[in-house]
Chains A and B, each alone.
Chain A
Amino acid sequence: MDWNPYIHSGLILVAITIAFLTIMLLCAATVLAERRVLAFIQGRLGPNRVGFGGVLQPFADFIKTMMKEDLVPDQSTRFVFLLAPMIAIVTAIMAIVVYPFGPTVTLPFLNWTFPLVIARFDVALLYVLGVTSVGVYGIALAGWSSNNKYSLLGGLRSAAQMISYELALGLSLIGVVLLSGTLDIYSIVEQQSGWYGSQWNIIYQPLGFILYLIAAIAETNRVPFDLPEAETELVAGFHTEYSSIKFLLFFNAEYINMITVSMLATTLFLGGWNVPFAESLFGRGTLLFALICVLGFFAKIMFFLFLYIWLRGTLPRFRFDQLMDFGWKFLLPVAILNIVLTATVLFFTTG
């Protein structure tokens, strides 16, 4: 009997579990980091009581939020109200599976070789964009079903905002796709290895990178584009009526979205798991090399997460019409210009 399919499935299950736990822990770490870094930016201390230096604070928050009463407003559309947070979290987590977070590893003694990616298929990038754009349903439906005017405004804002910025986001990635000639994220990362980091796409697509960064911030509803939940205008926006575990799901979804867009930026523009000089120092395929690469990957993600927090500590918020103007009248034309430029250059260089 051929056991290989079973081993393969088992390995994927293990990988999914590990990835899920990693993402959840990273999410918790981001929440803590956000509170601590923001506190230091603002001349405060931040939470530093639970655990050593406050490391257990996210878990304390988690337990506290879980204990709250799970309220469903009387006049809400109950089914949709329950469905919305699920859509938000599921679509957020689903995008994780395609990101390679390390090179192919060969385990010593066992001689097992496997790539550090859960699922590898040739339209991975398209899949990521598709799945993340479903996420807007979670927010829009939450805003609509709560039967609260503030929630409704938040939901409408986010629907308009995410659809507009989805365009710029997608178009900003086309340059990279043109360069690599593939939608398979794994190959895109492989193509960026070597040459001590000078193969990273950011060097050939600086404009695309900046466009992607801006659109990604808007896509994840973070400052300065946090209009759907602008707390000084709409109280809490689309999740005004949500409490307990449902609120937690939205909250988690936001942070996982932050992590996924950071992962996408890392894999497409910053060479994914590629660390300059690591290959020549440790040799490709060794366990140490893989470890360095995985650490490098997470370090790059954390750089983006820090950028998010930094921006939140610095910038004011856009107004709704200005946000739309910025998306349609600036980001979109520049993204198209970027595509035309890239295509022209490619046409003349590669023939």
Chain B
Amino acid sequence: MSSTLNIPPQFEIVDRPLDTQMTISMGPQHPSTHGVLRLELVLDGEMVVKATPDIGYLHTGMEKLFEYKKYQQGIVITDRMDYLNPLGNNLAYVMAVEKLLELQIPERAQTIRVLMCELQRIASHLVWLGTHALDIGAMSVFFYCFREREKILNLIEAASGGRLTPSYFRIGGLMMDLPSGFERRVRQFQDAFLKSVDEFHTLLTGNRIFQNRTKGVGVITAEDAIDWGLSGPCLRGSGVDLDIRRTNPYTSYETYDFEVPVEQDCDVWARYMVRMREMKESHKIVAQALARLKPGPVKADAPKVVLPDREAMKTHMDALIHHFLIVAEGFDVPAGEVYHPIEASKGELGVYVKSDGGPKPSRVHFRGPSFVNLSALPHMSEGAMVADIVAIIGSLDIVLGEIDR
């Protein structure tokens, strides 16, 4: 019976002044907090009075780790931050360092970067769609999304050898050129993908239950969204037309023809529609990148920074020396500091790198979009129900690896 309690005193139940309210700890082990997010919910029945996110369960000290690694070794760490969009992280970090080094990247490498990044964006959005739909209760969409994502991961694996941790973009270019037959495989994926997106639309967009669950939920106005520093689809879902690919182009995004989807509804539904449309835009960009893929070098002409080819090392003395020096000592980066933002799948991913000269950075900081977007959760979830909280978290598309770093 309940009288036989042997609870340690520190866990004793504290009397709440308002006995109609209930505090519930959602997470860090909860099916729909996307990893190890913990929410402290104060509930009045099913209504949420207050939602406080509690983060740090995945903290690994990554940013500090950069200071102990050479510049080229830092790429590997970026893979592990936003593990659904590793190529985007690679790109942001690599471009920041390249800015310090003032390197010129060959055209083919830039095109491949765009191609791979957009594929990765589709993959990231597919995971978002799958988990978001799963949170709302539509189970099968999850599997369909992961089926499509698998094809992209196979492509990334073919190019880089890694599925979740590709480290494909290197300072000064790429790890290596695309394998033969890669274009054909991408085209195969492209052909099947549009049909899948239509399938997702059939399953979710027209579904009355899904519309009821998403429309008018988690509203954040454009002014509030800007005030909270939201970026990416979350911001564009509130009707603010801001895309760094457009406003501050990098890797020649300005030469690609694509639309920036903006929705005015400010709710979960708007963010859903933005991402669904973005997948089609990414699909367009991939097609354009494929079309302009011409043979050429994929590494910058900077022998002191870029690792030489395997063949060159066997035939040229200086290539061997450069290889040894880069691997053993690293390369010196001129002193200075730089901030480079890119439009990652979740929003503005900014990398701040400070160099005092020498082969290791003195400080690397990431402006993770998930972190900033999550901070608006308490604002969005005022007056929501428990089921809405789950939908809102899903619509923010957070990755805890990036939030906790």
Q: B209 and A74: CB pair below 8 A?
A: no
User: Min CB distance, B371 to chain A, in Å?
Assistant: 23
| CB-defined contacts of A41 to chain B, threshold 8 Å | 140
Within 8 A of B (CB), among A310-351: 312-322
- Given A224-B209, A319-B213: A149 in contact with B138 (beta carbons within 8 A): no
User: Min CB distance, A182 to chain B, in Å?
Assistant: 37
| CB-defined contacts of A44 to chain B, threshold 8 Å | 143
The yes or no answer to A43 lying at the interface (CB within 8 A) is: yes
Within 8 A of B (CB), among A164-216: none
Q: Mark A216-239, 1 if CB is under 8 A from B, else 0.
A: 000000011011001111110000
The yes or no answer to B252 lying at the interface (CB within 8 A) is: no
CA distance A317 to B22 in the complex (A): 24
Q: Mark B129-140, 1 if CB is under 8 A from A, else 0.
A: 000011111111
CA distance A110 to B20 in the complex (A): 68
Q: A42 and B137: CB pair below 8 A?
A: no
- Given A153-B386, A313-B140: A231 in contact with B31 (beta carbons within 8 A): yes
The yes or no answer to B388 lying at the interface (CB within 8 A) is: yes
- Given A232-B134, A235-B31: A314 in contact with B387 (beta carbons within 8 A): no
Q: B139 and A320: CB pair below 8 A?
A: no
The yes or no answer to A144 lying at the interface (CB within 8 A) is: no
- Given A41-B140, A316-B204, A316-B210: A150 in contact with B390 (beta carbons within 8 A): no
- Given A77-B2, A319-B213: A312 in contact with B31 (beta carbons within 8 A): no
Q: A320 and B207: CB pair below 8 A?
A: no
| CB-defined contacts of B58 to chain A, threshold 8 Å | none
The yes or no answer to B302 lying at the interface (CB within 8 A) is: no
CA distance A234 to B137 in the complex (A): 12
| CB-defined contacts of B32 to chain A, threshold 8 Å | 232-233
| CB-defined contacts of A153 to chain B, threshold 8 Å | 24, 46, 386
Q: B147 and A232: CB pair below 8 A?
A: no
Q: A320 and B137: CB pair below 8 A?
A: no
The yes or no answer to A75 lying at the interface (CB within 8 A) is: yes
Q: B209 and A318: CB pair below 8 A?
A: yes
CA distance A313 to B144 in the complex (A): 11
| CB-defined contacts of A235 to chain B, threshold 8 Å | 30-31
Within 8 A of A (CB), among B122-168: 133-140, 142-144, 147
| CB-defined contacts of B209 to chain A, threshold 8 Å | 224, 315-318, 322
With most chain B CB atoms within 10 A of its CB, the pick from A78, A224, A231, A232 is A232
Main secondary structure of the interface of B (DSSP, over half): helix
- Given A43-B144, A319-B385, A319-B388: A312 in contact with B213 (beta carbons within 8 A): no
Q: B385 and A320: CB pair below 8 A?
A: yes
CA distance A320 to B386 in the complex (A): 9
With most chain A CB atoms within 10 A of its CB, the pick from B22, B139, B386 is B139
With most chain B CB atoms within 10 A of its CB, the pick from A42, A75, A76, A313 is A42
Q: B387 and A75: CB pair below 8 A?
A: no
| CB-defined contacts of A318 to chain B, threshold 8 Å | 209, 212-213
The yes or no answer to B14 lying at the interface (CB within 8 A) is: no
Q: A320 and B387: CB pair below 8 A?
A: yes
CA distance A235 to B30 in the complex (A): 7
Q: B24 and A150: CB pair below 8 A?
A: yes
| CB-defined contacts of A78 to chain B, threshold 8 Å | 1-2
User: Min CB distance, A70 to chain B, in Å?
Assistant: 18
CA distance A175 to B193 in the complex (A): 49
User: Min CB distance, A281 to chain B, in Å?
Assistant: 41
Q: A322 and B212: CB pair below 8 A?
A: yes
The yes or no answer to B226 lying at the interface (CB within 8 A) is: no
CA distance A320 to B390 in the complex (A): 13
The yes or no answer to B335 lying at the interface (CB within 8 A) is: no
User: Min CB distance, A6 to chain B, in Å?
Assistant: 45
- Given A230-B387, A233-B387, A235-B30: A42 in contact with B143 (beta carbons within 8 A): yes
Closest chain B residue to A321 by CB distance? Answer: B385
The yes or no answer to B18 lying at the interface (CB within 8 A) is: no
- Given A314-B203, A316-B213, A317-B209: A43 in contact with B143 (beta carbons within 8 A): yes
With most chain A CB atoms within 10 A of its CB, the pick from B30, B32, B46 is B46
Q: B5 and A224: CB pair below 8 A?
A: no
Q: Mark A293-314, 1 if CB is under 8 A from B, else 0.
A: 0000000000000000000111
Within 8 A of B (CB), among A28-71: 38, 41-44
| CB-defined contacts of B46 to chain A, threshold 8 Å | 153, 157, 320-321
CA distance A188 to B7 in the complex (A): 58
Q: B139 and A312: CB pair below 8 A?
A: yes
- Given A77-B2, A233-B390, A322-B212: A314 in contact with B140 (beta carbons within 8 A): yes
Q: A42 and B212: CB pair below 8 A?
A: no
CA distance A315 to B386 in the complex (A): 19
| CB-defined contacts of B144 to chain A, threshold 8 Å | 42-43
CA distance A77 to B2 in the complex (A): 6
CA distance A263 to B272 in the complex (A): 40
Q: B1 and A316: CB pair below 8 A?
A: no
- Given A78-B1, A224-B209: A316 in contact with B147 (beta carbons within 8 A): no
Closest chain A residue to B45 by CB distance? Answer: A156
| CB-defined contacts of B213 to chain A, threshold 8 Å | 316-319, 322
A-B interface, 8 closest residue pairs, ranked by CB to CB distance from nearest = A317-B137, A42-B143, A316-B138, A232-B32, A316-B137, A316-B136, A319-B387, A232-B135
19 interchain pairs, CB-CB under 8 A: A42-B143, A74-B4, A74-B5, A78-B2, A223-B137, A227-B387, A232-B136, A232-B137, A232-B390, A313-B139, A315-B138, A315-B207, A316-B137, A317-B209, A319-B385, A320-B385, A320-B387, A321-B385, A322-B213
